A and B are shown apart, each in its own frame.
Chain A
Amino acid sequence: MTDTLLRREPPETPAETGSRRLAERVSRIRESGIIVVLALFVAVTAGVQPRFLSVTNIQFVLVNTTIYALLALGETMVVISRNVDLSVGSVLGMSAYLSASLFGQHHGIPIPVVFLVGLGIGLGWGIVNGLLVAAGRVPSLVVTLATLYIIRGVDILIVGGGMVTANTLPGSFTDIPKDTVGGIPDLAIAVAAVIAAGAYYLRSFRSGRELYAIGSNPGAARLAGITIGGRVFTAFAVSGAIAGVVGVLWAAQYGTVDSTAGTGYELTVVTAVVVGGVAIFGGSGSAVGAALGALLLSTINSALYVLGISDFWDQAIAGFLLLLAITIDRIISVRLTAALRLRSTRRAT
């Protein structure tokens, strides 16, 4: 099994390389598109309020993004395979409370253990989602909608009216989002590394590329011998595990955790992922793009607060960006399909 998981693609024929390069070039253009919009936004905002680019503000934005960027990584894997995971917010909330409360109940518990507990909680729910979707053959929209309700309900039952307060958390834990190296938050560097690793996996490993195949054309994927159930299950398990870890980070960042942690995050994550170029019906997109989408949304949020513009605009802007992004993606994909088709007919003649 490890063999199939980690086996890399056999060498391509030149024709395949050409097509792949074209598709990749397009996705690079798409990602750079986001970077351009981001740069524009930053430039305009900094022009009006130079403090937007102050070191502390950049640190704020980067740290605030880490949560959404990580969630976007897990969500990307799921969405690429033509599924969706709406339960990430609830998983985050439960993991945040249960793992952070460990500090109060077991004094001196090592921080890595707490992270492992969070990962375990998330992985558990991810497995549930994966089983329901893969073995149960139930559409993931419905399954994760149901688990969104159920997990939040269980969390509310467990938490009751309680909360985890900052005084029970060790200083070294709450400092995790605050430590910086050369002005850049450690957390941002770590998350960037994880996302790079995730992107590499999706691009270069067989099991990663199979997710694209499943999302792109499930029937063909099955005929090609891909174990759809297994791959989809893994995608959900990973998404859940990531949400679990992010829950622990959430607790470190905010210090106080009650039963409302993470409510509504799923919507923001899906928006970030789609703005970042991942097609909602699967088959294309990249983890880097999704992370950039998360960064863009966080930046806009921060810009609105820093400019003192009523933050009531951020939702409208996010919605508009989403619609813009999918429209552009549609145009690109129509052109790209035509170009690829032309290329393959040319090769055939």
Chain B
Amino acid sequence: MRLNLAEMRARAPWALRWETGLAIIVVIIGVIGTAASPSFLTSNNLFNLGLSNGEIAIMTLPMALIVISGEIDLSVSSILGMSSCLLGFLWSRHWPMIAIFVVIAVVGIAAGAINGLLVTRVGLPSLAVTIGTLTLYAGIAEILLGPRTVANFPAAYTNLGVNAVPYTGNAVTYSTAIFVALAVIFGVVLHMTPAGRSIYAMGASPEAALFAGIRVKRIKTMLFIVSGLVCSLAGVLYTFRLSTAVADNGVGLELDVVAIVLVGGISIFGGQGSIPGVVLGVLAFAGIQNALLLTNFNQEASGIVAGGLLLLSVFGRNAGSYARRLREWAPAGRRPTESPAAGQGAQAATESRP
């Protein structure tokens, strides 16, 4: 009996979803990792994983929403760097930490608002805008601290990089905990609120969304603002974890964030994807890199694996359409049972089943 995709899709849609495949891959990575190194799933290793990837993970959440809505934000790493330098700059001028946090939040919101307004009000493509702001904000970060580093933060804060959240058996970093909390919030907003549905709608079809009364501009601007705020929070976490504020903190991270979001099943065209997918994407990405580190795989080649994962994820997504196109190219002389008419017959039979 031939595999009838249509039938499968009707009966068990969850089996063919991206997230399922990704979950299987994450499990496979876990298995391979444990087989390669007994310390893979130890709490200590998970702790280290959380430390190195916590901030990136946090940044993927607003990025996912932005990409689903049909835009992109490449300035995330520069907002992280800018807030890190702002932290160092103000701390070296003896501002109280609370005031510094407020300023950083405001600057993060402003940075996101600039992105949002340029995209929605002036009507510029977000790719170009955020390449510009990526450079601009990185430049501001450099102007703030210049060549200096600031490393004298109080231990109460830098212990973020050392201590785990209490009661979790030393496995969960503060950044992981924040990530989980934010994932739940973003997940609820995206999957269970009208605003979330609007985000999907505007990604799938901007004009239709507009005509349906969705306030596309307002929501998109909000998404960029949220991204700015979250990334500046990530910048604070990053700085405390390394206990160092320096201009090149975070440089290049935006590529990792975009890669994770894509691997997590968010379509670059907008309108598709989910938060569980992004969470799985984070696990897959981080898991692979960590597994490579723990085995004696050539560390220098980890970029190849990241790029390969990215390509696989996009081709995987397109696999359905390749299969279809391949079938179209099949030679004209087919057996009678495979004629289109018979195919339709089978489908009609399925639909008529009680």
Contacts and interface: CB of A to CB of B under 8 A. Distances in A.
Binding between chains A and B = yes
Interface of A: 84, 132, 136-139, 141-143, 145-150, 152-154, 156-157, 160, 259, 267, 270-271, 274, 280-281, 310, 312-320, 322-323, 326-327, 330
Contacts of A149: 255, 259, 303-304, 306-307, 310
Given A145-B258, A318-B139, A136 B318 contact: yes
A316 B146 CA distance: 12
Given A149-B310, A157-B300, A137 B124 contact: no
28 contacts: A84-B127, A142-B268, A143-B311, A143-B314, A145-B259, A146-B310, A146-B311, A149-B307, A153-B303, A153-B305, A267-B131, A280-B125, A280-B127, A280-B128, A310-B146, A312-B143, A312-B247, A313-B143, A316-B138, A316-B142, A319-B132, A319-B135, A319-B136, A319-B137, A320-B132, A320-B139, A326-B124, A330-B122
Nearest to B114: A323
A320 to B, nearest CB: 6
Nearest to A149: B307
Contacts of B129: 323, 326
B53 interface: no
A145 B318 contact: no
Given A137-B321, A157-B298, A320-B136, A312 B311 contact: no
Interface string B262-291: 100000110000000000000000000000
B118 interface: yes
A186 to B, nearest CB: 32
Residue picked from A132, A312, A326, most chain B C-beta under 10 Å: A312
Name A's interface SS: helix
Interface of B (DSSP majority class): helix
Given A143-B311, A322-B131, A330-B123, A316 B139 contact: yes
B133 interface: yes
Nearest to A331: B122
B293 interface: no
A137 to B, nearest CB: 6
A320 B143 CA distance: 14
B296 to A, nearest CB: 14
Contacts of A259: 300
B222 interface: no
A320 B137 CA distance: 9
Contacts of A319: 132-139
A147 B301 contact: no
Contacts of A160: 300
A316 B307 contact: no
B307 A153 contact: yes
Nearest to A264: B252
A260 B300 CA distance: 12
Contacts of A320: 132, 136, 139
B95 interface: no
B14 interface: no
Contacts of A316: 135-136, 138-140, 142-143
Given A138-B314, A150-B303, A327-B124, 7 more contacts: A154-B304, A267-B134, A310-B143, A312-B139, A319-B139, A323-B132, A326-B128
Interface of B: 118, 122-125, 127-129, 131-140, 142-143, 146-147, 247, 255, 258-259, 262, 268-269, 298, 300-308, 310-311, 314-315, 318, 321
Contact of A139 (B269, B306, B321): B269
Contacts of B258: 145
A310 B123 CA distance: 34
A326 B132 contact: yes
A137 B269 CA distance: 12
B132 A315 contact: no
A153 B128 contact: no
A253 B127 CA distance: 32
Contacts of B128: 274, 280, 322, 326
A105 B135 CA distance: 40
Contact of B303 (A143, A152, A271): A152
Contacts of B315: 136, 138
Contacts of B118: 323, 327
Contacts of A270: 131
A319 B82 CA distance: 14
Nearest to B262: A142
Contacts of B268: 139, 141-142
A182 B255 CA distance: 45
A182 B336 CA distance: 78
Contacts of A156: 300-301, 303
B307 A147 contact: yes
Contacts of B303: 149-150, 152-153, 156
Nearest to A87: B307
Contacts of B140: 316
Contacts of B143: 310, 312-313, 316
B139 A146 contact: no
B318 A271 contact: no
- Which of A150, A274, A313 counts the most chain B CB atoms within 10 A? A150
Contact of B132 (A146, A157, A313, A322): A322
A143 B317 CA distance: 13
B131 A157 contact: no
A153 B301 contact: yes
Contacts of A141: 127, 268
Contacts of B302: 153
A147 B140 CA distance: 30
Nearest to A323: B132
Contact of B255 (A148, A150, A271): A148
